[in-house]
C-alpha cells in the first residue's frame, strides 16, 4: 500500500492525497460507510459505486460469527463474496467484543466472551483476529486492541495501553509468519489507545509507531467523552503520528467533527451515523438534520434538500418519504440512506477540492458557522 500527499491547506494540518491499494486508489480525506456484515444496510454495491464510495468497512467480530471467515475464504475473499471491486477495511473485532458481547474474562492472552447472538463461548486472541482478517482478505486490517470505556479510571486505561502494545507485537509476529492467502497486500494498522490521558496517548503512540508500515488508527474516542477532550486528543495525535502515513480516526462521524478533524491532520473516517440515522428517518441536509416522520412534512411536496442532487432529492417529495416511514416500507430506509451517504460523500469531495484549491480555511469557517445553529451536525 502507498500513501501520497498531494496538497496541504496552509494555516492548518489539513491535507489531501491518495491511498493506493491493490483494489483501488482512495482519495483522502475519505469517509468509509459501514458494511458490518458484508453489506451497507439497504444499499447494493452498484449504488455505492454510483455514490462515489471508495472504500467500505467490514467487521471481524460479526463476520466471524456469521457466516464465518472460512466460508468467505472459500468464496474468494470478502470482495468476491459481496461483489465489491474496490477497497475494504476490516476492524479487528475488539470494540465489539468489549461492547456487544457478554464479557467473561480478559487477560494478556486474549478475551473469553459469549456471543450476543446465541450465548456461545469464544476465545479471541490477537492471532485469531489476524487469522480471520487474513481470510476475509481486506486491503487494510486493524490490530487487535483493548478499547477502554470513556469512564475508565487511569489505572484501567494504563492497563489497556499495555495490553494493546503487547497485542500489536503478537499481531505483527503472526502475520510475518504466514504466507499470503491472496494476490494482494493486507496492510496492518496499529490502533493508538489511551482515552483522554495525554501521557497514556503519548506512550501508546510511541510504542506502536514502529509497527506502522503505512497507516495508524486512533481508537477510544467518540465513546462518551467531552468533545473538547476528544479534539485535544486529536490535536495531540496530529503532533505525534507520522505525517507521511494516513491517520484513521475511528468512529468519529458528525459532519462538523469531520471538518474539524481534517483540520487537525486526520485522513480516514468511519461512522454508523449516516446509515443508522437514515433508517430512523433522520436526514442530514444543508439546513441541518431533518426528522422526516415529523407531522410538518405530511403535505410537504417539496424536495428534501434543494442543494442536493441525489436520486432521492431529485425524484421524491418529503411527503412521500414521510409516508414510506409511516408504513414502515423498506424503500424509505433505502432512499434515506442514499441521501445521507450522498451528503457525506459530497462533503468529503468538497473538503478535498477546497484543500487542493487553497480555499479550505474560508470554506471550513463558513461551513462550521452555518452548521453551528443546527443540533447534531
Give 49-59 pLDDT, tens digit per residue. 999 999 999 99
> Which sequence spans correspond to the domains of the chain?
2-271, 278-369
Residues 312, 161: Cα–Cα separation, whole Å = 45
Q: What share of the chain is helix, strand, coil (3-state, %, to 5)?
A: 45, 20, 35
Query: H or E stretch including 141?
Result: strand 140-142
List strands edge to edge, sheet with 121-124. Answer: 102-107, 110-114, 121-124
**What is the fold of 2-271?**
TIM Barrel (3.20.20)
Four-point Cα dihedral 146, 341, 273, 125, nearest 10: -20
**pLDDT above 80 for 253:** yes
**Which residue is catalytic, options 145, 257, 267, 270?**
270
pLDDT in tens, 309-343: 999 999 999 999 999 999 999 999 999 999 999 99
Residue 148: predicted pLDDT: 87
* Neighbour count for residue 109 (Cβ, 10 Å): 14
**Which residue is catalytic, options 44, 91, 139, 305?**
91
In order of 31, 56, 213, 215, 346, the CA distances from 6 in angstroms are: 18, 23, 19, 17, 20
Active site residue 244: no
Residues 104, 190: Cα–Cα separation, whole Å = 25
pLDDT in tens, 192-204: 999 999 999 999 9
| Dihedral (CA of 243, 249, 253, 257) sign | negative
Active site residue 359: no
Q: What share of the chain in percent tops pLDDT 90?
A: 92
Amino acid at each position: 500500500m502507498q500513501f501520497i500527499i498531494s496538497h496541504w491547506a496552509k494555516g492548518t494540518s489539513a491535507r489531501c492525497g491518495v491511498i493506493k491499494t491493490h483494489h483501488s486508489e482512495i482519495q483522502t480525506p475519505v469517509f468509509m460507510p459501514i458494511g458490518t456484515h458484508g453489506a451497507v444496510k439497504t444499499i447494493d454495491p452498484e449504488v455505492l459505486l454510483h455514490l462515489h464510495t471508495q472504500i467500505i468497512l467490514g467487521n471481524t467480530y460479526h463476520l466471524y460469527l456469521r457466516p464465518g471467515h472460512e466460508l468467505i475464504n472459500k468464496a474468494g475473499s470478502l470482495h468476491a463474496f459481496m461483489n465489491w471491486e474496490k477497497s475494504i477495511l476490516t476492524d479487528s473485532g475488539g470494540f465489539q467484543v468489549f461492547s456487544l458481547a457478554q464479557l467473561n474474562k480478559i487477560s494478556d492472552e486474549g478475551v473469553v466472551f459469549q456471543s450476543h447472538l446465541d450465548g456461545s463461548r469464544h476465545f479471541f486472541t490477537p492471532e485469531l483476529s489476524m487469522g480471520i482478517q487474513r481470510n476475509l482478505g481486506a486491503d487494510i486490517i486493524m490490530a487487535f486492541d483493548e478499547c477502554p470505556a470513556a469512564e475508565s479510571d487511569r489505572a484501567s486505561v494504563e492497563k489497556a495501553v499495555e495490553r494493546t502494545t503487547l497485542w500489536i507485537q503478537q499481531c505483527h509476529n503472526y502475520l510475518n509468519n504466514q504466507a499470503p492467502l491472496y494476490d494482494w497486500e493486507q496492510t496492518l494498522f496499529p490502533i493508538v489507545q489511551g482515552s483522554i490521558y495525554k501521557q497514556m496517548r503519548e506512550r501508546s503512540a510511541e510504542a506502536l509507531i514502529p509497527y506502522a508500515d503505512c497507516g495508524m488508527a486512533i481508537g477510544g474516542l467518540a465513546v462518551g467523552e467531552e468533545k473538547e477532550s476528544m479534539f485535544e486528543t486529536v490535536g495531540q495525535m496530529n503532533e505525534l503520528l507520522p505525517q507521511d502515513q494516513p491517520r484513521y480516526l475511528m468512529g468519529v462521524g458528525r459532519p462538523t467533527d469531520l471538518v474539524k478533524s481534517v483540520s487537525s491532520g486526520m485522513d480516514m473516517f468511519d461512522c454508523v451515523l449516516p446509515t443508522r440515522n437514515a433508517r430512523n428517518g433522520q436526514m442530514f441536509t444543508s439546513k441541518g438534520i431533518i426528522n422526516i416522520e415529523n407531522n410538518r412534512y405530511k403535505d410537504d411536496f417539496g424536495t428534501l434538500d434543494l442543494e442536493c442532487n441525489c436520486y432521492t432529492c431529485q425524484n421524491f417529495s418529503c411527503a412521500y418519504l414521510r409516508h414510506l416511514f409511516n408504513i414502515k416500507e423498506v424503500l424509505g430506509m433505502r432512499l434515506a440512506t442514499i441521501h445521507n451517504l450522498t451528503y457525506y460523500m459530497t462533503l468529503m469531495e468538497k473538503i478535498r477540492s477546497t484543500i487542493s484549491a487553497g480555499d479550505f480555511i474560508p470554506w471550513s469557517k463558513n461551513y462550521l458557522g452555518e452548521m453551528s445553529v443546527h443540533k447534531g451536525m
